[in-house]
Structure 1
Amino acid sequence: MPRRSVSSTVRRGLTFWRRSVQARVVASTVLLSAIVVGVVGWFLLQQTRDGLVDARVDRAVAEATDETNQARTRLAALPGTDDDVSTQLRQLADPILQRAEVRGFSVVLAGPVTEEPIDVASAGARYSTDLDLDSVPASLSAHFTESLDPAWTFTTMRYVDDADRPEIAGVAVASAIQLPADGKYYTLYYLFPMQQEEDTLALVSRALLTAGGLLLVLVAGLTWLVTRQVVTPIRMARRTAERLAAGHLEERMWVRGHDDIARLATSFNQMASSLQRQIRQLEELSRVQRRFTSDVSHELRTPLTTVRMAGDVLHDARNEFDPVTARAAELLQTELDRFEGLLSDLLEISRFDAGAAALELDDINLIDVAHRVVDITRGLAEQRGMTVTVQALREPVLAEADTRRVERIVRNLVSNAIDHADSGPIVVLVNGDDHAAAIAVRDHGVGLAPGEAALVFNRFWRADPARARTSGGTGLGLAISLEDTHLHGGWLQAWGQPGQGAQFRLTLPRRAGQPLRHSPIPLVPDDVEAL
């Protein structure tokens, strides 16, 4: 399989694992069940093995003891002379070998016992013909150099006549018996195979393995069904919530039964109905507010025009009035200019609220826009004793944008900086790259308190209500600038610290519709003192 296909399969598997609660619950349950089944199965297998082995050892020792007792009885009935040693050995071994062949165990007769361990293979032993004498454990031969008591141990039985016959675990029982012919002790080794016990243990192992596998499959199936009953309503709730978030406020969950899931669905539907009602009330209130703002702005145009004409007449004739009346005419003209600007801003905001704002895109150079704005605001800056300069970090800085709207954004930012810069120069930074273009306005005024950077673009919001507006702004400039920026698909962000001034940054994509991922100008100025 290609590496890319394997990687894709792994990613899909990991995604499914992260997203599926049901899969994780089933896997965890099966894993824990497998551990429990494995431990229990191992314990049962050990108990079974120990029981089979103990039972086989008891039977082997009992049978070997019985055979030895019978052999002693037969020997006791024979005359004991030195010339009859071989005859007595044969009379001792033959009956046992015959019964061993019938009953399925092996016998080895070796001896006599000496102070050194007997090498069974070289001791002239009599034994079952198919048995390999290496099957007799050396530990049993060494036992009789110290004691003549019976002993037993485990062994591995090997055979010489059948090459296909496997090695078999067995029990070796040894007894010492005295031969009347010479008065010496000879050893009888009884080797009992444990083939039947091994077969039984293998059968039990297969049964446990099969039962454990079936049990795990059953546990997995039951867990899947149980979790499905819980997860399915949750998935329905998720899909319903996604559709609600997408604006389909009429979506509801199905309610079945009276259990906890049904009560959850009922509560979810009640919550959705409450949200739908409140959202519609807010939409209606917002629509009425936008309509009121638009209607009032339009209705005020006509009387404002009339008042403007009368104010212009009075302002032109102010030199003929006494000082108090002339000053009143000048104030009237100033407030009329501000009022007209407020109406223009309200109309612009209403167009944004109604979704009627549109872009007139063109390729513009942001450096030229910055210089035009600086020229327009130079008089206002000189009144405050400030200087506004442009620093182009790259030239040209091109972007596909609406010239009028971008110029209005920059003008609002520069005017806002002039209003709040108590001293120090105001710098307009311009920079760009292959994906984005940016303008930043840096002032060294009062700055922004923590949390105010997120509020500064709200309508009619002011950081210091007691602070006079030098530029005569309406309080809607930054809000309109933010709407203009969103219309371009750009960013308008603010940074500030008390006593260190503020910086506002406008970032636009080089091409309309392209997503923004970064800005060519850092939001935090390079000249900020490290705290």
Structure 2
Amino acid sequence: MAGVNTRVIPVGVNVSRVRAAVRRAHPAVVRLLRRVRRLAGGAVEAWRRSIQLRVVATTLLLSVAVAFFLAMALVGQVRDGLLEAKQQAALSQAGGGFREARAEYQNTDPATTTASFSQHLRTLVEDLASGGSNGRLYDVALLSAPGGQPDPAARSPMASGQLRPESIPATLRNEVFRRGRERVLQGDDGYYAYQYISARYDERNGGYRSTPALAVGTLLTSPQQGDYELYYVFPLTQEQETLSLVRNTLVTASAFLCVLLGVIAWLVTRQVVTPVRMAARIAERLAAGRLEERMRVEGEDDLARLASSFNKMATNLQRQIRQLEELSRVQRRFVSDVSHELRTPLTTVRMAADVLHEARDSFDPHVSRASELLQNQLDRFESLLTDLLEISRFDAGAAVLEAEPVDIRKIVHRVVEAHEYLAKRNGSRLIVKEPPEPCVAEVDPRRIERVLRNLVVNAVEHGEGRDVVIKVAAGEDSVAVAVRDYGVGLKPGESSLVFNRFWRADPARARTTGGTGLGLSIALEDAHLHGGWLQAWGEPGDGSQFRLTLPKVAGREIERSPIPLEPEDSRRNRGLRVAGAPYRRVTGASHA
């Protein structure tokens, strides 16, 4: 019937039990795969990180390879020697038997009946094999040659012991008969041939066992009795046992030698790796600030000289680092002291300047202009002093973050509204691109507003009258604000230098808005205080872009920014789009 699903269930199969077994086995298989994956990962990690493991493993692999090829060569030589000795002894033994059998066969009475002839042949086989039956050295088989006997009773094969006559392969029989007939026609009846075969011997249970053997055969010919093929079969049991003993001995010796070489490699590499690991641990401690750590020097070899050189380097680094720390401490103390000491005279001068500025209308024009210049320069001096005090707080670790959930878009709007007049005066426009949904993050509004104010003012000042684009975006764990200008831009390598204190790309450039040279340094410290990034990108003549990335939750690490560091309208990206190549965004590094 159409639309009906049918299932064929084998009789005797319990489907519920099968399903339960599959459900029980599935977690076990998953756990096994996970364990194998962990072990494989651990092995790969150990191989990647440990020189000693790689040296020992390589030594073992090469030792195994060398031992394998050496054992193969030795086994081959032993096998060839055993077979050659066996072959010489077998041919000598068979040659004497062939002469005896040929003489006995040719002296047989032609008037002998078939039964008597068959018995005579069987007696001949037993007599020939009697020399090897006790020691199991060889067996004898007698086969009728093709066309040699018209009587079927006389053509039945004969063999001594438990040997099966069909063990003689057809290739050997053809060789013995064909070459034997040729030699007989030439008057030489002493030809024989030999071949390595797999001889079959009857067992008591009715079966048979196969044994490698060497078969040597000749042709017995008589005008009256016809032709017969006589074979001596020499089992290679003793040679096989000897070869197995040699092989087992070589395998055992090779395994022991490989293990011994592995232990030796481990001990040798340990002497080299141990000082290197010690140097790595001490280097990590030095990097962590424990500058008094030193390596232990033992002996006068290369490793001892390495340890001595490492200790000298650590001592020099410790001395230089302490000098730099002392210099930095003195510098920070000097900035802090100067900033605080200048507060009092600045306040007094400010009060006097305010009095002069308020009464400037009653002064002569040049005195009035001087009072205005004094007021402007005092504003700049007070701004510099404020920045120096803020830097000293960061240096002293006294900066405090007062974070609260804030919509970053509101801070951006406040900054834009406060600097619209400045942008208009420079011939620029402030363009804000923001998403319709809120971009909320836990930030200190005062510090973030100071960062954005600094970025916008710098963009307007260096934008050369072009538009300044402020882009806001939010990701899964972060929010970002990018300030893009189309002015002079940055030269290669300046994207990190702009955050240095008092650094300027062009010290001779005229400034319309003043500036202390500390704004971006303070902005970078504010970003780091939030656990965020402040990064810069720029190209000469194509403007620059500064990107501020902040975590939505204060103190959490962020992995990526929702805004690419290189803007989509950069010269390189425009070239990629024009050429038809796929667009690829460039994400910034971690901290600037």
Report if TM-score (shorter chain) is over 0.5: yes
The equivalent residue for 1:58 is 88
Q: Report the secondary structure of 1:107's partner residue.
A: strand
**For residue 344 of structure 1, what is the aligned residue in structure 2?**
386
2:40 corresponds to which of 5, 10, 16: 10
The equivalent of 1:411 in structure 2 is 453
Contact 2:481 2:548 in 1 (8 A): yes
Cα distance in 2, alignment partners of residues 438 and 120 from structure 1: 107
Whichever residue aligns with residue 111 of structure 2, its letter is: D
Deviates more, 1:518-527 or 1:285-294: 518-527
**Counterpart position of 1:190:** 232
Which residue does 1:166 correspond to in 2? 209
What secondary structure, in the 3-state scheme, does the structure 1 residue paired with 2:201 have? coil
Aligned mate of 1:470, from 485, 509, 512: 512
Match of 2:129 in 1: 97
Counterparts of 1:175 and 1:438, CA distance in 2: 100
Structure 1, residues 274-329: CA drift from partner, whole Å, max 9, x if none? 11110000000000111111111112222222222222222222212222221111
Tell me the secondary structure at the aligned position of residue 191 of structure 1. Answer: strand
Give 2:51's match in structure 1, choosing from 12, 21, 34. Answer: 21
* Structure 1 CA distance for aligned equivalents of residues 421 and 129 of structure 2: 129
Q: In the TM superposition, what whole-angstrom CA distance separates every residue of 1:435-478 from its partner, at most 9, and x where no partner exists?
A: 11122222221111222111111111112222222111111111
Tell me, yes or no, if structure 1 residue 234 matches structure 2 residue 276.
Answer: yes
User: Which residue of the partner structure matches residue 579 of structure 2?
Assistant: none
Shift of 1:366: 1.3
Q: Is the 8 A contact 2:176 2:217 kept in 1?
A: no
Partner of 1:396: 438
8 A Cα contact 1:117 1:145, kept in partner: no
From the superposition, tell whether residues 342 and 121 of structure 1 become closer, same or farther in structure 2 (CA, over 3 Å): farther
Match of 1:331 among 362, 365, 373: 373
Which amino acid in 1 is paired with 2:75?
Answer: L
2:349 & 2:527 partners in 1: Cα distance? Answer: 34
Secondary structure of the 1:166 match is strand
Displacement, 1:499? 2.1
Q: 2:65 corresponds to which residue?
A: 35
2:205 maps to 1:176: no
TM-score, normalised to structure 2, is: 0.84
SS in structure 2 at match of 1:152: strand
Counterpart code for 1:128: S
Structure 1 counterpart of 2:246, one-letter code: V
* Cα displacement string for residues 367-412 of structure 1 (whole angstroms, at most 9, x for unaligned residues): 1111211222223223223232433224322111111111111111
The match for 2:76 is 46
Residues 445 and 501 of structure 1 are in contact (CA less than 8 Å); yes or no, is this contact kept in structure 2?
Answer: yes
Alignment partner, residue 140 of structure 2: 107
Q: CA deviation at 1:225?
A: 1.0
C-alpha separation in 2, matches of 1:24 and 1:302: 69
Q: Would you say 1:487 and 2:517 are equivalent positions?
A: no
3-state SS of 2:293 partner: coil
Cα distance, 1:374–1:92 mapped onto 2, change above 3 Å: closer
Q: How has the CA–CA distance of structure 1 residues 79 and 138 changed in structure 2, closer, same or farther, with 3 Å as cutoff?
A: closer
Residue matched to 2:165: 133
Deviation at 1:6, TM superposition (A): 2.5
Task: Tell me how far 1:512 sits from its aligned partner.
Answer: 0.5
**Closer, same or farther: CA 283–96 of 1 in aligned 2, 3 Å:** same
Structure 2 residue identity aligned to 1:97: A
Paired position in structure 2 for 1:444: 486
Query: 2:324: which partner in 1?
Result: 282
Query: 2:149, 2:227 within 8 Å by CA — same for their partners in 1?
Result: no
SS of the residue aligned with 1:167? strand
SS at match of 1:508: strand
Moved more, 375-384 or 19-28: 375-384
CA distance in 1, matches of 2:157, 2:36: 67
> For the Cα contact (< 8 Å) 1:117–1:142, is it kept in 2?
no
Change in 2 beyond 3 A, CA 1:478/1:126: closer
Query: Aligned pair in 2 of structure 1 residues 211, 120: CA closer, same or farther (>3 Å)?
Result: farther
> What is the number of residues matched between the two proteins?
528
In 2: Cα distance, 1:89 partner to 1:8 partner: 75
After superposition, where does 1:254-269 map in structure 2 within 5 Å? 254-269=296-311
The 2-side partners of 1:122 and 1:391 are apart by 114
Matched, 1:363 2:405: yes
Counterpart secondary structure, 2:179: coil
Q: Is the 8 A contact 1:438 1:520 kept in 2?
A: yes
Assess if the C-alpha contact under 8 Å between 2:479 and 2:561 holds in 1.
yes
Structure 1: stretches of 5+ with no match in the other structure: none
Q: Out of 124, 146, 157, which is 2:156 matched to?
A: 124
Deviations 1:167-221 (A, max 9, x none): 11111111234559x3755332111111111111111111111111111111111
* Partner Cα separation in structure 2 for residue 79 and residue 428 of structure 1: 124
Equivalent pairs: percent with the same residue? 51
State how 1:282-301 maps to structure 2 within 5 Å. 282-301=324-343
SS of structure 2 residue aligned to 1:464: coil
TM-score, L = length of structure 1: 0.93
Change (3 A) 1:446 1:424: same
Structure 2: give runs of 5+ residues left out of the alignment.
Answer: 1-27, 181-190, 576-592
The alignment partner of 2:83 has SS state of: helix
Q: CA deviation digits over 1:424-443, x for unaligned, max 9?
A: 22222222234111222222
Q: Which amino acid aligns with 1:176?
A: L
Kept in 2: contact 1:116–1:142 (CA 8 A): no
Q: Which moved more, 1:124-133 or 1:194-203?
A: 124-133
State the secondary structure of the residue aligned to 1:175. strand
Q: 1:205 to 1:319 in 2, by over 3 A?
A: same
Please tell me whether the aligned partners of residues 389 and 426 of structure 1 are also in contact (alpha carbons under 8 angstroms). Answer: yes
Q: Distance in 2 between matches of 1:274 and 1:29?
A: 40
CA distance in 2, matches of 1:25, 1:49: 35
3-state DSSP of counterpart to 1:158:
strand
In 2: Cα distance, 1:390 partner to 1:127 partner: 109
Are the aligned partners of 1:120 and 1:133 in contact in 2 as well (CA < 8 Å)?
Answer: no
SS of equivalent residue, structure 2 residue 555: coil
Q: RMSD of the TM alignment (CA)?
A: 2.4
Please say if residues 118 and 141 of structure 1, whose CA atoms lie closer than 8 Å, have aligned partners that are also in contact.
Answer: no
Q: CA deviation at 1:118?
A: 11
Q: Indicate the larger mover: 484-493 or 87-96.
A: 87-96
Matching residue within 543, 568, 573 for 1:526: 568
Tell me the SS of whatever aligns to 1:329.
helix
Partners of 1:100 and 1:179 lie apart in 2 by 27
Tell whether the 8 Å contact from 2:482 to 2:548 is kept in structure 1 after alignment.
Answer: yes
Aligned partners of 2:140 and 2:461: how far apart in 1? Answer: 115
Change (3 A) 1:139 1:338: same
Change in 2 beyond 3 A, CA 1:142/1:338: same
* Contact residue 428 and residue 440 of structure 1 kept, 8 A: yes
2:141 alignment partner, SS class: strand
How far is the alpha carbon of 1:29 from its aligned partner?
0.9
CA contact (8 A) 1:115 1:145 kept: no
